[in-house]
Each structure stands twice: as C-alpha cells, then as structure tokens.
Structure 1
C-alpha cells in the first residue's frame, strides 16, 4: 500500500493460458498472470527471486490531490510483513504468529460462537420486526472485527468506522478509482491512519500484552508498527467478512453443493466454506514482482515484471450458475481452477490468520443457518466488490420464506 504505485490501468480478466499476457486483441493487462497451481506455488516459494515488494503497492497511480491528503498526516507504509523482502521479515513474522497459534485460535472458538449466535438472533429478530435483512451487515460484518481486536489485545471500539475504513482502503489501493474518487478515499485512509497512530501510542503504555507493544519491544518504530497494523486490521477481519458473505450468498442462491439446511451442521458449514475458498475466495489473487531476470517453466521473465498469482477462482471469470442445470453441469462449473492449498498463499508469507478465518466463517454460517432456517434471497443479483485482490457481494438481502401449504 505504498502511495507511490508502479502499475497503471485496470487488470483484465485472468488470462486462460498459465503465465501468459492477454492477447493483443484485448486491452493489455499490466501484469503477467500465473494460474497454474504448480507455477503459483513455485513463485511463492522463491521470494528471493519473486519479491513481495509490490504486494501492497497501489494498483492505480495516486494523483497529486490524493497524495497530498496522505502526506499531510505523514501516512507511511514501510515494508514490514506482507511486502517485506528483507532479513527482518522472519523475526517480525514470529512476533505476529505468536498471536495466531493453533492453541490461541482454538481457545477463541467459544467467543466466536457467542458473537455468531448473538448476531444471528439479532438478524432473526429484525426479520420478524421489520422484514428483509442484509446478512452482510447483521451477521458477517462485525464478529470478525471484534475477534481480531480481542485476539491482538487491542480495545474493541469504533467498529463501524473500522469497517468503512477497511472497504475504502481496499478500493484505494486495490481498485481503479478515478481522481475524484481517489480524493474521497484518501481522506478516509488519512482518518484511519490517524486513528491507528493514536491506538498504537495508547497500546505501548497499556497494561497487559498486545501486538503493538510486542512489536515495539522487538524494535519496530511507530511508523513500522502502524504499517503492519494498517494492513493487519484490514486484512485480518474484512477478508473474513467477505468470505462469510460469499458463502451465505452461494448457499442461498443454491449454487453451493451444500444446501441451507445442511449448513446448520458443523460439517455442512465447513464444507460450504471450503468450497467457496477453493472456487472464489475473498482473496482470489496476490502479487509478486521479479527481483531480477529469471525463468519459470522455461519462460524467461525480465527483472521488474509485475506478476498476478491466482490463488482461487475469480468471480469475473466464473461461469454463471443457472438454476435447474444438471448436477454434472454444476459440478463442472464449480471445479476449482486452483487447489485449496493455495487459498491462503504458501511459503514464508502464507496468511497467519488462515485457520482463524476458516473457523470464524464456518461458525458464523452455521449459526446463521440455525437461527434463520426459512429464508430466501431477496436480491439474486447484488452489487459485488470486485478489486484486483478482493471480491464478495456487498449485500446478501434475505426475506422470510413463505410457508408452504399444510
């Protein structure tokens, strides 16, 4: 999320041939697109050759007015974790990983279920009182944010602002906003950065253990802690909200192999979530850049080549689901183009919150299906978040299902 971007123009739908550019008949994609799972894995496992330095760089160059807004608040995102290609990465990652151990994540399960049940009950009550309900806002949005802040030892506050800032920052750094929209989004990013800097300052003197204090003790400066926190507080909860949103939508659309009734079981919800992870996860792509001249699968790659890796299916290339299509057709439509094992990345930069995200999504989907057993989609064609590396329906509006004849 460096305010000095290196690429221009919107990326086109992913090329069909692994490792190839778009054809000359199409608008040129500014990235080399790698879809083959083995090639994706090879790139991720050669960080000295395929650097993560561009992972957080703005997709669309930020114009002067937007840059000036960020500069006024001393907005800075030095490479610390996801985009760090230096020897400092391992030590920093170890500190952050200490907050996401298997034991820590497992211990959060009762709290996640408590939040999921409360959110699902509120959605059910709202459905009875006032009619149609947006499941994104009522059940998917806030539990992941609460869990993330609690897990990191940070105060739970300003949740509505955090959710708004997260979506705005994703669009600013992974989308294609025009200059006027950039300016709006830059004001939001500046506001969130000031909030974060204040939170970091408070955390350094707060009692008990928290991530920011641990990073300071490791030797990170305040700008470095803010850089890590800025990305982590976005990715650590908003991508989980988006995973939940897509899973709920596909279940209710009846294009997920699991049906809504079966999603009320632990096994069913886990299967539904894993299917979405493999076919159209909330983070379908990620970026790398060739650090020097190299090759992959016999193809020469020049230093500086920008690369997009497909981690899971992409909504813009996913065949449309047709109600009533044959099981065989449905199976073909849902065949994952990449393996589940790449969904959260691979190698030394693999997502630290993978198990947490999957656990949260499965529990929230399950509790929603339990509390809302008879609902149907009100809007079968919602607007989608469609950014270079993030995708999900913006809304999942449902209504009570009419009772059948007795």
Structure 2
C-alpha cells in the first residue's frame, strides 16, 4: 500500500493523484494554501508541547508554509544559494565527497563481506554538501542525521504518546543547537544563508523556523532518494544493471526513474484557504488536501514532466531540486564504480514510511 493510501485511511484528506490536478492545486496558492504543510500529522500532546515550549521552539511561517506577501522576498534570498551556476560549480566537490564515501564503503565490503550503503554512502555526503553550500560549519553530522529522522517522524508520522514525547525532546535539542548556529552565523563575517536572512530583516525565531526544516529537507530527502535508488538498483527491479550505473548517464536516468515512481517525498499537503471550485466540484474552506507528487506517471514517459512533481511546482517548488538530482546521480555513479559486482544481501529491509517521506532504512550489499 502506498504512503498516500495508507494515510488517507486515518487522516481527513482529500487525496489527489492525477498529475494535472496536483499541478493545478500547486499553481493556485490563493485558493490552496501551504499553511498546513508543516503541521504535525499527529496532534502534539500537552507534555510534548511543554517540552517544545521550554526550548522556545517556534515555527512561524517563513518559506514552505508561508502564504503571505513576504514569501517571494525570502525565497529570493534562499534561491541565491542554489543558483544553477552555484550548483554546477559545486559538482567537482560533490564528486570528491561521493568518491571518498564510496571508497570507504568498498573497504568495509572487502573487510566484512557486507556493507550498508545507507550509512556508508547515502547519509553524510548530502549533509556535508548542504552545509558547505549554505556557508555553514560542517559539524555534528551524526546528531543532525538522528535529529532529522526524529523530526520527520514527529511531524509526518503517527507516534504514540510515549514515542511522541521522545521525539519532542529530540526536536527541542535540535532547535537549541540550531539557535546557537543561527546566532553564530549571523555574527560571522563571511557570506552564509542565516546572515543573509538577517540582513533581509528576518528575526532569530524566523531564521530558526526556516533553518529547522531546510537543514532537514536539504539533506535527509536526498539521502532517502539515494537510498531508494541504490536499493532498486541492487534489487534489479527497475531495468538498470548495477555495473552500468557507473556511467553518469545511466545513473542520472535511474534517479529520474525513481523520482517519477517512488520519490523520497511522495506526497505533500495543502489546505483550501477559502470556498472554491475544483474540477467542477465545490471545495469548502478548510478542506485538507493530500497531493500525490510521484508514482502516477507512466514509467515509459520521458522528459521533465515525468518526474518534475517530485519537487513540487509553482511558487513553492523545491529550490534544491537540481542539487538533489545531481547529488543523487553522482553518489550512485561513484558507488556503482567502486563496488562492482555486488548483490543485495537483504531483500526485505525495514522502510521509513511516513505521510510524506519514504525510503529503505538500510541497503545491505555483499558479493
């Protein structure tokens, strides 16, 4: 069962699957607001809220959930760190990081006879690239990865009360770390995203709100995309041979196939901002809508439309789309080149399955 269909049973969403309908909703932000995009799927309990309040945790709408006139100016500042020229110039650095990770993975495979590619090649390279690209210090990567997964579960999962409280403590710790990072970055002389946002006029809570999900989405979703691509490649179920993926063009085609069929972000939410009509029917104000971004194009369809919705569309489209696609293709290519002739050691790993995120938690390969 897909993430969307499983979620639709328990969440009061109008589910849209047709790509044309999804695109129309995303291109009508005045009618279909992003205000619910970052609201916890499972309402936060009193104890969990108190944990977050003690940490001064706050998520005012700044970017992904911002439906006000301030959105365009803020988006322009962030977009300045993800221009095509910037991403293109970073390719050699991305390849170096990916090659180092793949070489380490090959060493682990030789020593142990098996290696988990999620941990060895998919986890850290996207985080390193994102932090460097934003002009931020690269540190505490294991904590950042753990905090990211916990926050995704807190906001897009269905934790029971005990688990939710654990996740709230993790989110509070992450938020405290982030606030310190924001204050440090704003006071630093060099160009960095947080300093640029402060110059634009954002307050510390607003920068923290933007940074909270950007530091997650900017790397964890790419880790998940790489993980799914490597799993399907090793599984042999998507029409691409493992050794052939050592070619850049094959690796890119594989990533685009995964983006079209089972992206790491398969769904996203919108809410009707006012009474409106859609496809000839009435949509009341407050109606919550679940948009399926991936999995509904023909796998034979070629071109940008077959996978473009994986990054959204319209004024809130993912600013890091080209970076994520490039990173994923490079990591897959370097991994396939360094680990020739491997096979899938665990064909049934546990998967992360949240409302809007999915990926295998491990991709174990051996000879």
Is the contact made by 1:279 and 1:335 (CA closer than 8 Å) also made in structure 2?
no
**Matched residue of 2:5: which SS?**
coil
Q: Report whether the alignment pairs 1:154 with 2:136.
A: yes
Q: In the comparison of the two structures, how many residue pairs are matched?
A: 363
**How far did residue 339 of structure 1 move?**
3.2
TM-score (norm 2): 0.96
> In 2 relative to 1, CA 383–298 (structure 1 residues): closer, same or farther, beyond 3 Å?
same
Q: Report whether the alignment pairs 1:109 with 2:101.
A: no
**How far did residue 14 of structure 1 move?**
2.8
Distance 1:12 1:210 in 2: 36
Question: Which portions of structure 1, spanning 4 or more consecutive aligned residues, are displaced by more than 6 angstroms?
Answer: none
Distance 1:28 1:201 in 2: 40
**Matched residue of 1:217: which SS?**
helix
Matches within 5 A, 1:214-225: 214-225=196-207
Is the contact made by 1:12 and 1:29 (CA closer than 8 Å) also made in structure 2?
no
Distance 2:25 2:270 in 1: 8
**How far did residue 28 of structure 1 move?**
5.5
Is the contact made by 2:118 and 2:361 (CA closer than 8 Å) also made in structure 1?
yes
**How far did residue 65 of structure 1 move?**
1.1
Please name the residue that 1:350 is paired with. 317
Please name the residue that 2:335 is paired with. 368
**How far did residue 299 of structure 1 move?**
1.2
**How far did residue 131 of structure 1 move?**
2.3
**How far did residue 258 of structure 1 move?**
1.4
Cα deviation code 1:266-311 (max 9, x no counterpart): 0000001000000000000000000011111101111000000010
Please name the residue that 1:359 is paired with. 326
| Structure with more of its chain in helix, by fraction | 2
Please name the residue that 2:250 is paired with. 268
Please name the residue that 1:238 is paired with. 220
Larger radius of gyration: 1
**Matched residue of 2:219: which SS?**
helix
TM-score (norm 1): 0.87
Distance 2:341 2:24 in 1: 46
Distance 1:257 1:290 in 2: 40
Distance 2:288 2:330 in 1: 37
**Matched residue of 2:135: which SS?**
coil
> In 2 relative to 1, CA 216–13 (structure 1 residues): closer, same or farther, beyond 3 Å?
closer
> Which fold has the larger relative contact order, with Cα–Cα distance below 8 Å and residues 6 or more apart in sequence?
2
Matches within 5 A, 1:3-402: 13-14=4-5, 27=9, 29-313=11-295, 334=299, 339-400=306-367
Distance 1:212 1:285 in 2: 28
In structure 1, runs of 5+ residues without a counterpart are 1-10, 16-20, 315-330, 401-406
> In 2 relative to 1, CA 103–12 (structure 1 residues): closer, same or farther, beyond 3 Å?
closer
Is the contact made by 1:33 and 1:308 (CA closer than 8 Å) also made in structure 2?
yes
**Matched residue of 1:14: which SS?**
helix
